[in-house]
Amino acid sequence: NVLADQIAAGEVIERPASIVKELVENSLDANSKRIDIIVENSGLDSIRVIDDGSGIADDDVEIAFKRHATSKITTRRDLFKVRTMGFRGEALPSIASVADVTLTTATPGSTTGSLIHIHGGELVDVKPGPARQGTDVVVRELFFNTPARLKYLKSPQTELARITDIVNRLALANPQVAFSLTHNNKELFRTAGNDNLQQVVAAIYGIQVGKKMLPFAGEDNDFKISGLVSLPELTRASRQYITITINHRYIRNFELTKAIINGYESKLMVGRYPIAVLNIQLDPVLVDVNVHPAKREVRLSKEPQLAELIAKVIRQRISTENL
Ligand code: ADP
Ligand code: MG
């Protein structure tokens, strides 16, 4: 049902950056070790995501574009312990309903792959494709059939900044994956995928970890936290440089952001914020990601306890460094 898909797309697919996010999250769910993102004209001309993940079996390729056809949760109980990025089965059909999509994919060890082409929600072609392991999705003609959505987009620079921001966050959340982002044939950044967060921070922010960025780690009975925080002298004029992830998922959370800042006590100047990456590991039952389709907002049990742990660990780290 193309109309239902377009309506769902309204919630999940607002702009080129949302497509990048959904495609990369699918690549992460497929256990990819390498994800290359290639964008033309801020995503308006094309968005391509190539991964080396588990691929989609021939029989499932068409199904992947059907609404609520997710391979990731099977029971209601699964909803309460989501371990994957995706679980609604909405992204692919939503994207395909408002664009031209070609997906080629092959599973490990298969001698042929599949190619599927969908235009504005209508199946154009599905046939055997190259046997390269992984998935390659190309999205063109974004919002060609929803002109109102096109008009709502901001300038190309703004749309590109949003794409860069989301890819940065996904790379910071997944230092075990080698990412690259290329725009109009220019490589914007590349990470090594060697599970070294310091390398990712250097690739993204150009900051060599050592003197100015400190690694930290701590835990209590429920939470394990680790990451990097800048010294109070290395700050920025916005909170944009604070990244929080839960179980490799980039999230936004006001209380936890405040906890990081609280860890600095009064050492930050007014209007200045640290550069920080905070990775949180917890049992998925403690977090509800099913609040909004874009899944950036999460509901957390024991949030005050977690905030206290974060502030304490960062406070200790900053103060021992200033001795
Ligand atoms: P969801 O991620 O919520 O399951 P999507 O619409 O994003 O829904 O994707 C539908 C299905 O297509 C996924 O459940 C998965 O089985 C398959 N899929 C999509 N992208 C990839 C990929 N890059 N690699 C492997 N499988 C994929
Ligand atoms: Mg998905």
Q: Which atom of ligand 1 is nearest to the CA of 135?
A: 23
pLDDT digits (tens, 9 = 90+) for 170-203: 999 999 999 999 999 999 999 999 999 999 999 9
- Say what the pLDDT of residue 295 is: 55
| pLDDT at residue 270 in the model | 92
CB neighbour list of residue 55: distance below 8 Å, 6 or more residues apart: 30, 105, 106, 107, 108, 110, 113, 133, 134, 135
Please report, for residues 24, 26, 108, 114, the alpha-carbon distance to residue 126 in angstroms, rounded to integers and kept in the order given.
23, 20, 20, 7
**What domains sit in the chain, N to C, each tagged with a CATH number?**
2-190 (3.30.565.10), 208-321 (3.30.230.10)
Tell how far the Cα of 147 is from the centroid of ligand 2, in angstroms.
25
Distance (Å, whole) CA 208 – CA 229: 12
Please identify, by atom number, the ligand 1 atom nearest to the C-alpha of residue 91. 6
Angle at 213 between CA 211 and CA 219, to 5 degrees: 125
**Of ligand 1's atoms, which has the minimum distance to the CA of residue 71?**
14
Model pLDDT for residues 2-58, shown as the tens digit of each residue: 777 776 666 678 899 999 999 999 999 999 999 999 999 999 999 999 999 999 999
pLDDT at 190: 97
**Residue with the nearest Cα to atom 17 of ligand 1?**
64
Numbers of helices and strands, H then E, in the chain: 8, 17
Q: How far is the CA of 265 from the centre of ligand 1 (A)?
A: 43
Q: Give the integer Cα–Cα distance in Å for 65 and 204.
A: 33
174-to-6, 28, 119, 201 alpha-carbon distances in Å: 30, 9, 32, 12
Residue 136 CA: which ligand is closest? Answer: 1
Rounded to whole angstroms, how far apart are CA atoms 178 and 108? Answer: 19
Q: Is the pLDDT of residue 290 over 80?
A: no
Name the β-bridge partners of 250: 245
Say yes or no to pLDDT of 307 above 70.
yes
Residues near ligand 1 (Cβ within 6 A): 22, 26-27, 29-30, 51, 53-56, 64, 70-72, 86-92, 135
pLDDT tens string 71-129: 655 565 555 555 666 556 789 999 999 999 999 999 999 999 999 999 999 999 999 99
Q: What is the pLDDT of residue 67?
A: 79
What is the 68 CA–ligand 1 centroid distance (Å)? 11
What pLDDT is stored for residue 267 in this prediction?
Answer: 92
Give how far the C-alpha of residue 60 lies from the chain's centroid of Cα atoms, to the nearest Å.
24
Between the CA of 49 and the centroid of ligand 1 the distance, in Å, is: 13
Structure tokens at 189: 């950044």
CA of 180 to the centre of ligand 1 (A): 20
- pLDDT of 262-288, one tens digit each? 999 989 999 999 999 999 999 888 876
Q: State the pLDDT at residue 68.
A: 72
Closest ligand 1 atom to residue 84 Cα is: 2
For residue 269, the 8-state DSSP code is: P
Q: Which atom of ligand 1 is nearest to the CA of 51?
A: 23
Q: How far is the CA of 32 from the centre of ligand 2 (A)?
A: 14
Q: Which residue did the predictor score with more confidence, 67 or 227?
A: 227
CA distance 26 to 38: 16
| Contacts for 288 with CB less than 8 Å, ≥ 6 apart | 80, 298, 299, 300
Q: Are 180 and 48 in contact (CB under 8 A)?
A: no
As for the ipTM of the complex, it is 0.99
Query: Residues 206-258: pLDDT tens digits?
Result: 887 666 889 999 999 999 999 999 999 999 999 999 999 998 988 889 999 99
Using 50, 70 and 90 to split pLDDT, how confident is the model at 300? confident
Best substitution site from 26, 36, 48, 61 to test ligand 1's pocket, by max atoms within 8 Å of Cβ?
26
Ligand 1 atom at minimum distance from 93 CA: 6
Per residue in 133-144, pLDDT tens?
999 999 999 999
Cβ contact 83:25 at 8 Å: no
CA angle 287, 278, 316 (to 5 degrees): 115
pLDDT at 80: 52
Q: Whose CA is nearest to atom 2 of ligand 1?
A: 86
pLDDT of residue 154: 92
CA of 54 to the centre of ligand 2 (A): 14
Ligand nearest to the CA of 93: 1
What is the pLDDT, as a whole number, of residue 131?
A: 95
